[in-house]
Amino acid sequence: MSEQLSASWTQPVVGVLGGLGPAATAVFIDLLVRATRAETDQDHIDAIITQHSSTPDRTAAILDPHAPDPGVVLAADARLLQRMGVRVLVMPCNTAHHYVREVENVLDENVRFVSILDETVQAAARMVKPTGRPVAVFATEGNMHAGVYRDALAEEGLDTWAPPRALQNRINTLIYDQVKAGAPVDRGQFEQCIAEAIDAGAGVVVLGCTELSVIHDQHGFRGDTRIVDSLTELALATVRAAGKELSPAFSG
């Protein structure tokens, strides 16, 4: 495989650290296409995707120090994309952000890393700061255990509303037993989870797992003002970072 892009690639080329999980990466690429203002194929973003589905499980590594380390794999894939000539790098996985330093440490200064965490936290802050209400975070056990969103929200002066155990168990079911397993999604269960968080006082619900973003995109929740979807926020930021305009459907 060549590690040098020809001059026919329109800069900046976007590199996607994908496969974390596979369905979420597929939705992310679809979002990039839909969110880009384009009239021809050539108006779209040039991108290279590593659909590296065999990357070690991020939650398992956070919860078990003896589990395989995904950070090493993510860093190696980032190096590969950098050698191929990408100038914008994205990682459409929230739990993997726990390993973001390993990724950033291998990047040259001419590669811009667009963070799903930073973009999502900023979007949530815009919505809840006027209200003073906390931000509910729906994410994996690993993400919640590591405090990925809790710490980032605290830096913005925002409180996190963490789901109680019974609700977290239902979120886990949506993530692992349904989306990741390729099983039918219980749309009503997802709706009930959102409603419970809002009824408990949360100002907005952050979908801090991209498997939940798959439900958001494919089961009629796009445009729901109770939700900040991390995959959508990353897609919008990626379009801008690539120097493209947002399509009318995403620019409102």
Catalytic residues: 93, 209
Distances from the Cα of 136 to the Cαs of 133, 207, 224, in angstroms? 9, 9, 15
* 106 CB-near residues (< 8 Å, 6+ apart): 75, 78, 79, 82
Q: Collapsing DSSP states into helix, strand and coil, what is residue 140?
A: coil
In terms of DSSP bridges, do strands 14-18 and 47-51 run parallel, antiparallel, or are they unpaired?
Answer: parallel
Q: Which residues are CB-neighbours of 41 under 8 A, at least 6 positions away?
A: none
The alpha carbon of residue 133 and the mean position of all alpha carbons in its chain are separated, in whole angstroms, by 23
User: Which residue in 132, 142, 147, 146 sits closest to 203, CA to CA?
Assistant: 132
Task: Measure the CA–CA gap between 18 and 90, rounded to whole angstroms.
Answer: 9
